[in-house]
Structure 1
Amino acid sequence: MRVEKSIYLDYQSTTPVDDRVMQAMLPYFTDSFGNPHSASHALGWKSSDAVETARAVVASTVGALPEEVVFTSGATESNNQAMFGVMFGNTTPRNRVLVSAIEHKCVKESALFFGNKLGFVMEEIPVLSTGKIDLQAYQSMLSDDVLLVSIMAVNNEIGVIQDISCLSDLAHRAGALFHCDAAQALEAMDVDVADWGVDLLSLSAHKLYGPKGIGALYIDSSIQNNFPALIQGGGQQWGLRAGTLPTPLCVGFGVAASLIQSEGEAHRSALRVLSDRFLERLSNEGVGFRVNGDRQCRHPGSLSIELIGVDAESLLMSLQPKICASTGSACNSGMIQSSYVLRAIGVSEESAASCVRFSLGRFTDESQVDEAAKLIADGVRSCLI
């Protein structure tokens, strides 16, 4: 995708809204603006029908029932609600929560925050150098005092895909609940909550060409009775999440999900070809690089690359405004620190400073890949001089 003078290679950060999604949303900003919870007039009924249609589509995309899908403001809220709901609603002696060492920060921090407040211990499950869960360590950590396990399906930085069905089965054998952050998953693979055996699953529309500000939390019907709401108020969504639902955003999420259902596999195949082409072009340009994480079991458009001997921040700044990509660093309290995801897979501080995440998507094409590789190669050569 080209935006003015920029080639956009940061799809795992956010995706552009597909025009088909935008067109479906527009009427609900103008003529069909009724409150979906207004049950006494036609405009309210129309908005309510649109919301429930969207809910049914999102649910079918992950193999769930509509009443098991709660709309939220995004995956961050969904992850917070999952952590809070399970811990606050717990009536057992279990007091440990396990999260992987490479979870999104909102999972790690919400698990730690609610755990500290509610008397739970949060522990991190180590990963291998591939980014895959260390199964031996994971199994040794599972016991009858574990309440919840949270492991993401597709990592947002290195794109590695976990075997969620295996990991959830192990958790259930220990009597624990299993939550999966699947915000990055639908772009990368088919998702089925029944096949995966998860109890909770988080989604975000803006990772699949839908609007920002809308996500969803799947909550298995068997645990809903003991699942308290994080947001209290008017009792909307069966009392699981209060607040007036944003009809246009719900509609957009539904259309984005339907497009993933119909076009997902063809899109993923195209992304694999483009990713291979990108790496081949970099290699042909003489760029020295290493790909972080598992090379095979990964998001087809995600490439976390160490550009050997190059300062990643300086490189990306030198490429502005021509290339939009992300470094392997995170900003914390004004201090630049190496990515905890890269540290978890054994990447050194020095190597982490040379890492860039390039993520390709629906609107990436061969000409963009070829031009980006040439620009990056030229930038690398300048940085090495």
Structure 2
Amino acid sequence: MSQQEIIYLDNNATTRVDDRVLEEMLPYFTDLYANSTSSHIAGLTINEAVEKVAWQTANLINAEPDEITFTSGATEAINLAVKGLAYQERKHIVTVVTEHKAVLENCHFMKSIGFDVTYLPTASDGLLDLELLEKTITDKTLVFIMMFSNNETGVIQNINAISALLKSKNVLFLCDATQAVGKISVDVKKYGIDLLTLSAHKFHGPKGVGALYLSAKAKTKLIPQIIGGGQQRKLRSGTLNVPGIVGLGKACEIAVNQLEENQNRVKLLRDKLEIGLLQFEGSFVNGDIQNRIYNTSNICFPSVNSEQLIMALGNISVSNGASCSAVTSEPSHVLKAMGLSDEQALSSIRFSLSKYTTSDEIDYVVDRVLELCVKLRS
């Protein structure tokens, strides 16, 4: 392994497009370029391809094809899901302080137009206190918003228990499953999820395409945010990004067939990485080590500045926060909410692996990180 070869361990930010996905997309840039809403034969052919992707996407999360609305990604899906609920009688939203900025900023907006928003804390392991959630819900609560798997720590919440509580209170459940879909089994029916967001580029699909799942109950409450031609059952107007949508569908198809294989192999590599890196004196894993997704490890290296470490690593791609601010002088709001000091948060690195990560790469990363941590600490 040379210092010229890129080793990419920032897969929670984005992933390499699978070759099979790219191959599936290419004809839709050239020969199959008609508008999917056109009524001629060429357009109808493209519409059939889009309908196939709705089925592929629904199949990945155990939904129905007509419950899928394609978007430009998870951020747009979150905007549609949150702002689309603006005209409901209930005016109380509950979320968690460790959510992605796409959720938090939308909640700030909803507060500016008259909603009450409650931001719940987590314990030091990143898990939510269900008793606190139950006490927070009132007869004015419209929706609870929470990640399936945290983008920085990988912590997975008790989705079953949370959804059961929300159902008993007649509160909608909006789940940001961007870091979970395509990596682990996500079943909207089993988990009682009303609205779910996903993004193709998090599981080896293209950037610029994602989807919003809407249960029958949620669909009746949502108003569109992009209006115009009335595409997608009037929920999201605009000419569809057909190549991207086709890529999403192929990524979903591949993920369904590889979930268990990827989980078993990548988890072994993640564990190997942690065993090696935790040799550094005083280092520790941020977040619950049992309830987390298999590809993510967030490690604090005390007295080592994460920005300096990231720059020194050169050909090794890692991050010290969310993908939208991978190198920042501000401590992670997620780690701070979990009780870390500024110094600890600014000494933490997120390593996120993928199905393309190799054992040789892990060996190289462990040696290089340990070497640099010793230098930077001294």
Q: TM-score range by the shorter chain?
A: over 0.9
User: Aligned ranges for residues 213-224 of structure 1 at < 5 Å?
Assistant: 213-224=208-219
One-letter code of the match for 2:91? N
State the distance in 1 between where 2:263 and 2:282 align.
Answer: 26
Q: Deviations over 1:288-326 (max 9, x none)?
A: 410000001111010010012211111111111x21000
1:118-169 CA distance string (max 9 Å, x none): x111111111111111222111101211111001100000000012121122
Counterpart for residue 85 of structure 2: 86
Aligned to 1:226: 221
Give secondary structure in 2 for the equivalent of 1:97.
strand
Query: 2:172–2:218: 8 Å Cα contact kept in structure 1?
Result: no
- Alignment of 1:145 with 2:140, yes or no, is yes
TM-score (norm 2): 0.96
The equivalent residue for 2:17 is: 17
Which position in structure 1 is the counterpart of 2:291? 297
Residues 70-113 of structure 1: per-residue CA shift (max 9 Å, x gap)? 0000000001111011223x1x3x22100111111011111220
- Say yes or no: does 1:134 pair with 2:133: no
For 1:253 and 1:2, locate their aligned partners in 2 and report how far apart those are by CA, in whole Å.
33
User: Gaps (5+ residues) in structure 1?
Assistant: none
Q: Residue 177 of structure 1 corresponds to which residue in structure 2?
A: 172
AA at the equivalent of 1:347: L
- Which aligned pairs between 1:2-151 and structure 2 lie closer than 5 A? 5-39=5-39, 41-88=40-87, 90=88, 92=89, 94-117=90-113, 119-151=114-146
- Residue deviations 1:240-272 (CA, integer Å, cap 9, x gap): 100111111000000101111000111011111
1:306 partnered with 2:304: no
TM-score w.r.t. the length of structure 1 is 0.94
Q: Determine the C-alpha separation between the residues in 1 that align with 2:260 and 2:230.
A: 38
CA pair 304-2 structure 1, distance change in 2 beyond 3 A: farther
Question: Within 2, Cα distance between the matches of 1:56 and 1:114?
Answer: 32
Q: Does 1:383 align with 2:376?
A: yes
Pick closer, same or farther for the CA change 1:247–1:329 going to 2, 3 Å: closer
Amino acid of the residue matched to residue 9 of structure 2?
L
Letter of the aligned partner of 1:307 in structure 2? F
Distance 1:197 1:251, change over 3 A: same
Asked if the contact 2:182–2:252 (Cα under 8 Å) also holds between the matched residues in 1, the reply is no
Q: Match of 1:350?
A: 343
* Letter paired with 2:36: P
Measure the CA separation in 1 of the matches of 2:193 and 2:175. Answer: 7
| SS, match of residue 327 in structure 1 | coil
Name 2:356's counterpart in structure 1: 363
Aligned-residue CA RMSD in angstroms? 1.9
Distance 2:67 2:148 in 1: 19
- Alignment partner of 2:212: what SS? strand
Secondary structure in 2 aligned to 1:239?
A: coil
Distance change (3 Å), C-alpha of 1:376 and 1:275: same
1:205 maps to what in 2? 200
In 2, the alpha carbon distance for the partners of 1:187 and 1:232 equals: 30
Q: Name the % identity.
A: 39
1:189 match: 184
Report if the CA contact (8 A) 1:329-1:336 is conserved.
no
Count residues with an aligned counterpart. 377
Asked if residue 325 in structure 1 is aligned to residue 318 in structure 2, the reply is yes
Are the counterparts in 2 of residues 21 and 252 from structure 1 also a CA contact under 8 Å?
yes
Q: CA deviation at 1:46?
A: 1.4
**2-side partners of 1:226 and 1:306: how far apart?**
43
CA distance in 1 between partners of 2:83 and 2:322 (Å): 28
Supply the AA of the counterpart residue of 2:358.
D
Give the conservation status (yes or no) of the 8 Å contact 2:13–2:322. Answer: no
1:72 maps to amino acid: T
* 8 A Cα contact 1:328 1:353, kept in partner: no
Cα distance, 1:203–1:3 mapped onto 2, change above 3 Å? farther
Q: Give the deviation of 1:114 after TM superposition.
A: 2.6
Residues of 2 paired with 1:254 and 1:4: CA distance? 34
Q: CA deviation at 1:30?
A: 0.6
- Partner of 1:201, secondary structure, is strand
Separation of aligned partners in 1, 2:164 and 2:200: 27
Compared CA separation, residues 148 and 135, structure 1 to 2 (3 A) = same
User: How far, CA to CA, are the matches of 1:29 and 1:246 in structure 2?
Assistant: 10
Instruction: Give the conservation status (yes or no) of the 8 Å contact 1:304–1:356.
Output: yes
Aligned partners of 1:329 and 1:352 also within 8 Å: no
- The 1:194/1:367 distance shift into structure 2, 3 A limit, reads same
Structure 1 range deviating more: 130-139 or 146-155 = 130-139
Tell me the distance in 2 between the aligned counterparts of 1:330 and 1:31: 35
Q: Which residue of 2 aligns with 1:279?
A: 274
